[in-house]
Structure 1
Amino acid sequence: MLSAGLLSYAGFSALCLAMDRHHQEMLGRRPSPSRKVQLRVAGWALLGLSLWISVISAGWAMGLVRWTAVLMSSAVFLVWLLPYRPRWALVLAAVGVLLGLLAAVARW
């Protein structure tokens, strides 16, 4: 479940970066329209990958329940972190992608 949690946090962070306000806070500039689309696609892809990992590891019944819990916890953590340390949220998202994919590959 660690990999699903890290990937869902990174997915929510990418969706967050697709918004003008949060992109400005974290990176200091406004995103271009093509960058917004890329971030949205990446965010939804990471959320879908975390769903796939949860379902593969625990089956459809418990996988969806665990995925919902992982989504809630990662979203709460991101919402808590954004007002206080927006740069940390960005760094943790990058680390989350790397470690999440590494943990998923190590599982198989």
Structure 2
Amino acid sequence: MLAMFLLSYGGFTALCLSMARHHDDLLGRKPSLRRRRGLKLAGWGLLGLSLWSAVAGKGWGAGLVDWCAVLMASALALVFLLPYRPRLALALAAMGLLASPAAVWGLN
């Protein structure tokens, strides 16, 4: 469950950074077209990896239910962190992506 959360939070953060407004707020500059496309691809890829983690761990039935719950929780965490602590939201995504391989391999 931790791996799903970390991957989906990182994916939502990447999708958030692919928008010019949020990219400018968090990083202080507008993203180039190439960077926006890369962030969108990374975001959707991380969400796909979180789905894979859910299905591999619990099967299609329970895995999809858990995945939907984790998607809502990670999106809610990001939505609450962005207005009040935007740098913390970015740092948590980076730390989560560094920790997600350990969580995927069952060290959670």
SS for the counterpart of 1:83 is helix
**Aligned counterpart, 2:53:** 53
Match of 1:15 in 2: 15
RMSD of aligned Cα (Å): 0.8
Counterpart Cα distance in 2 of 1:58 and 1:70: 14
Measured in 2, the distance between the counterparts of 1:54 and 1:15 equals: 20
How far 1:75 sits from its partner (Å)? Answer: 0.1
For residue 28 of structure 1, what is the aligned residue in structure 2? Answer: 28
Unaligned runs of 5+ in 1: none
3-state SS of 1:30 partner: coil
Percent identity, aligned pairs only, is 59
**Cα drift, residue 98 of structure 1:** 1.0
Which 5+ residue runs of structure 2 have no aligned equivalent?
A: none
Q: Which one-letter code corresponds to 1:31 in the other structure?
A: P
Tell whether 2:7 aligns with 1:4: no
TM-score (norm 2): 0.96
Tell me the TM-score normalised to structure 1 length. 0.96
SS in 1 for 2:31: coil
CA distance in 1, matches of 2:91, 2:11: 13
1:35 CA drift (Å): 0.1
Superposition deviation, residue 106 in structure 1: 3.7
**Deviation per CA, 1:24-77, whole angstroms, max 9, x where unpaired?**
111000000000000000000000000000000000000000000000000000
User: How far apart in 2 are the matches of 1:92 and 1:20?
Assistant: 20
| Dislocated runs of 4+, deviation >6 Å | none
**AA paired with 1:42?**
A
State the partner residue of 2:103.
103
Q: Secondary structure at the match of 2:83?
A: coil
Matched residues, number = 107
